[in-house]
Homo-oligomer: A and B are copies of this chain.
Amino acid sequence: MNPLSSPLLADLYQFTMLQTYLEQRMDDIAVFELFVRKLPAGRNFLVAAGLDQVLEFLENLHFTPEELTWLAKRFPPHVIDYLERFRFTGDVHAMPEGTVFFPNEPILRITAPMPQAQLVESRIINLMHFETLIASKAARSVLIARNKLLVDFGMRRAHGAEAGLLAARASYLAGFSGTATLLAGALYDIPVFGTMAHSFVQAHQNEIDAFAHFARSHPDNTMLLIDTYDTEVAAAKVVTLAQQLRSENIRIKGVRLDSGDLAQHARNVRAILDDGGLRETTIFASGNLDEYKLQALLAAQAPIDGFGIGTALDISLDAPALDCAYKLQEYAGIPRRKHSEGKATWPGRKQVYRRYTNDGQLLEDTVALEDENPQPGEALLQPFMRAGKRLQPTLTLHELRSRTLTGYRCLTQNMTALEAAPPYPVTISAALHAMAEQIDRQYLTQHHGQT
């Protein structure tokens, strides 16, 4: 069983419900939509991500003999017969990855026979939630530090392997320059960056030997970590070493700071490097960084050329989860609405329309029913899969990243700040309001005999 693609990557209830759906012949078309209920504190927008992984999951979904054998001990033969032939044959509509979005806006819609649409619930949430979480977090650093090199350093503290890989992908999509994670480079063609660890320096008897050895191995890409013992002392050693290596045609490309007062160390190190003739040698900083520390370092005009962001990025430290849901909005042609306290949903198949000001900034979004008269503005949900097959052409990750960066230009200045701005207006259309009220009236009539 492949943990990343197995259809058993689901909650038990998806299979118990499936059994009942089959026994009751409830295989009419169901429409589920994925949306976020509210923004995390201090956030002004989110960035949709994870669609490519969802489409790959749906297109390849099937049960292996091993999985069927395991299930056969727990479910009756008619369920196993059904699962043996199982393929996802539904449609997917979604906002393209990298699209800025807001609470209550569907970012993904699944239209498929009920047993299928229900079976894929948990993995779809799992993928979309995490990549959207990370892309939304990464966007904040990108907007703060527009022209700096930003590198994902977080795999080691990401929650497992897939989180590390998808965090590299989602942060690159949101505008990061690349990642330290080699496998993310191999799988997604993301630029990979790296220097050296403290252990490398410690394993040598002298710090300058460590630097010299590394430089001779990597003459074209010498990045030296200089905070293992004393940052400024190490910077002076870098100057000495650079003079020694000049005859070997080796240039020290950059140094990395990883502890202490990064702004002060950067100023000291910049002066030492400049005095030593190493004006081209860049300074890269890491060590528990996040977008707030980036903002402070930039405000202090610290001479830092690039940043590695680890834990805060890969687990979205200030908001490690989004309040998102995958909800049934229509079944057998009839719109549905959940009434649970504090968790009511907008029924029906919906579209999101976005309007812009004359100078191209976000003005207002409207959530409307798909089949009501089109609203003014850009329709954000697009078809990505029909009858279980992906629609072509798909943009590459690099193209999606460019599109995402362009999309940021539509954000108002308020929205690009790290603090909460006044909420962006998301209007619910009159027809959608009317439909919700009609369902509520029907429910009351039916369940309480009231009108």
Tell whether A447 pairs with B197 under 8 Å between CB atoms, given A1-B183, A1-B187, A19-B218: no
Within 8 A of B (CB), among A224-266: 227-230, 233, 258-260
Of the listed stretches A275-283, A320-328, A365-373, chain B binds: A320-328
Q: Which residues of B contact A320 (CB under 8 A)?
A: 159, 315, 317, 320
Report if A421 contacts B (CB, 8 A): no
Of the listed stretches A20-28, A93-101, A374-382, A401-409, chain B binds: A20-28
Report if A214 contacts B (CB, 8 A): yes
Report if A268 contacts B (CB, 8 A): no
Pull 9 A–B residue pairs with CB atoms less than 8 Å apart, ordered by A: A3-B187, A10-B183, A11-B182, A133-B159, A158-B159, A159-B320, A198-B327, A206-B446, A229-B443
Q: Which residues of B contact A182 (CB under 8 A)?
A: 8-12, 14-15
Indicate if the CB atoms of A161 and B159 lie closer than 8 Å: no
CA distance A259 to B341 in the complex (A): 6
Indicate if the CB atoms of A230 and B447 lie closer than 8 Å: yes
Within 8 A of B (CB), among A1-42: 1, 3-4, 6, 8-17, 19-21, 23-24, 26, 30, 32
A91-125 vs B, Cβ < 8 Å mask (1 yes, 0 no): 00000000000000000000000100010011101
Indicate if the CB atoms of B16 and A216 lie closer than 8 Å: no
Indicate if the CB atoms of B194 and A11 lie closer than 8 Å: yes
Report if A60 contacts B (CB, 8 A): no
Residue of B with least CB distance to A324: B157
- Give, as a whole number of angstroms, the nearest-CB distance from A66 to chain B: 9
Taking A24-B213, A229-B340 as known contacts, 20 extra A-B pairs with beta carbons closer than 8 A to each other, sorted by chain A number, are A3-B4, A3-B161, A6-B183, A9-B155, A12-B182, A17-B200, A20-B200, A70-B186, A126-B164, A130-B159, A133-B159, A159-B163, A160-B163, A163-B163, A199-B327, A203-B332, A228-B340, A229-B447, A230-B339, A259-B341
Q: Which residues of B contact A32 (CB under 8 A)?
A: 199
Report if A429 contacts B (CB, 8 A): no
Tell whether A336 pairs with B203 under 8 Å between CB atoms, given A3-B161, A9-B155: yes
Indicate if the CB atoms of A13 and B197 lie closer than 8 Å: yes
Indicate if the CB atoms of A199 and B118 lie closer than 8 Å: yes
CA distance A311 to B340 in the complex (A): 19
The size bracket of the interface on A is: 35 or more
Report if A343 contacts B (CB, 8 A): yes
Report if A181 contacts B (CB, 8 A): yes
Report if A297 contacts B (CB, 8 A): no
**Copies per assembly:** 2
Indicate if the CB atoms of B162 and A161 lie closer than 8 Å: yes
Residue of B with least CB distance to A331: B203
Report if A46 contacts B (CB, 8 A): no
Residue of B with least CB distance to A193: B12
Indicate if the CB atoms of A217 and B10 lie closer than 8 Å: no
Q: Which residues of B contact A229 (CB under 8 A)?
A: 339-340, 443, 447
A432-451 vs B, Cβ < 8 Å mask (1 yes, 0 no): 00000000000100111000
CA distance A195 to B16 in the complex (A): 8
Indicate if the CB atoms of B121 and A156 lie closer than 8 Å: yes
Residue of B with least CB distance to A332: B203
Report if A146 contacts B (CB, 8 A): no
CA distance A294 to B192 in the complex (A): 44
CA distance A430 to B197 in the complex (A): 29
Indicate if the CB atoms of B315 and A9 lie closer than 8 Å: no
Within 8 A of B (CB), among A191-225: 192-200, 202-203, 206-207, 213-214, 216-218, 221
Q: Which residues of B contact A185 (CB under 8 A)?
A: 12
- Give, as a whole number of angstroms, the nearest-CB distance from A325 to chain B: 9
A112-151 vs B, Cβ < 8 Å mask (1 yes, 0 no): 0010001001110111011001000000000000000000
Q: Which residues of B contact A324 (CB under 8 A)?
A: 157
